[in-house]
Amino acid sequence: MTVMRYREALNAALREEMARDENVMLMGEDIGVFNGAFKVTAGLLEEFGEKRVRDTPISENTIVGMGVGAAMTGLRPVVELMTINFSLLAMDQIVNHAATIRYMFGGQVKVPLVVRMPQGAGHQLGPTHSHSWEALYLHVPGLLVAVPTTAADAKGLLKSAIRDDNPVVFIEHEYLYGQRGEVPDDDDFTVRFGVAAIRREGSDVTVVGISRMALTAARAAKTLSEEHGVEAEVIDPRTLRPLDLDTILASVRKTNRCVIVEEGWPHGGVGANLAALIQEQAFDDLDAPVQRVTGADVPMPYSKALEQLAFPHEPQIVDAVLATFGDRVRP
């Protein structure tokens, strides 16, 4: 194992896959000479040259459109969008083209495209840079959606995404880029899509955390154990399409309670989807309604104090968990 930052793990995945397959290429704004807005592509231009590491104009629809065309003709492009908010400008190319072409062509054409995009609050970048929109892409059939939390998952899932013949929306959290973690040294290490990770085992309540919220949920679980005697099982789905619902349901059937934590907005969010699935398929196992902890239903504030209030922290998760016990557990 090697300890590295999340951004370094992504960089290693890109480097290894480019060395493994000459059809893998990168495109995006400032990814070459500038090494990427978050330095994920550092050193790759020097190593692989301008033909395979392409700095592009500021035009997201053009970047993704070029990626779709390149993927259809046999390449494996990895497109970087500077933030998930900017992906709105390429929504036509992602949703109407990348996600549907294989179906419309009767399987005769593949679109092995990866669209990398960072999201999330905490850096005072305001509402046009900081939202969490997993739910937008979760909604679209034909897309795979990854939300890696750890450095190991960032590397393993990105390598799997590049090798997949389907278009992948690969969502990274800006806060996580500097976080360190152990990563296997194996150059062929991958993480399979559709397999959730149990970050902490517990018997009293299931807490499902999306993206960075898996880490926040793990810290809340520690507080619940030490201060309230509640043992929470923390599940990180890692991918939302495909979703490992079996692992989540098995945990709920064991604990009989569930709290879902996400940074995105509450209406039509990932948590709303998961809550519906859990209550449809494990209703008789629940001793309390599924609780959801979400970001505030507002555009992301620029003010640091207001921004911190706009996304979940440990106390909100603790309160939601305790609410599932009613009067049985006192703060």
Where in the sequence numbering do the catalytic residues fall? Answer: 60, 129
∠ CA 169-48-4, rounded to 5°? 60
Determine how β-strand 232-236 pairs with β-strand 258-261: unpaired
> What angle, rounded to 10 degrees, do the helices at 314-323 and 213-228 form?
60
Peptide bond between residue 127 and the one before it cis (omega within 30 degrees of 0): no
DSSP code of residue 30: T
Q: How far apart are CA 267 and CA 84, in angstroms?
A: 18
- Within 13 Å of residue 234, how many CA atoms lie on the same side as its CB? 24
Distances (CA, A) of 307 to 13, 25, 130, 178, 197: 32, 36, 10, 20, 29
36-40-41-43 Cα dihedral, nearest 10 degrees:
110
165, amino acid identity: D
229: left (phi over 0), alpha (psi -120 to 50) or beta: left
Phi, psi of 16 (to 5 degrees): -65, -40
Beta strands in 108-204 (DSSP E): 114-119, 144-146, 168-173, 180-183, 197-200
Q: How far apart are CA 120 and CA 141, in angstroms?
A: 24
The tokens describing 25, both together, are 């290429």
Phi, psi of 240 (to 5 degrees): -100, -25
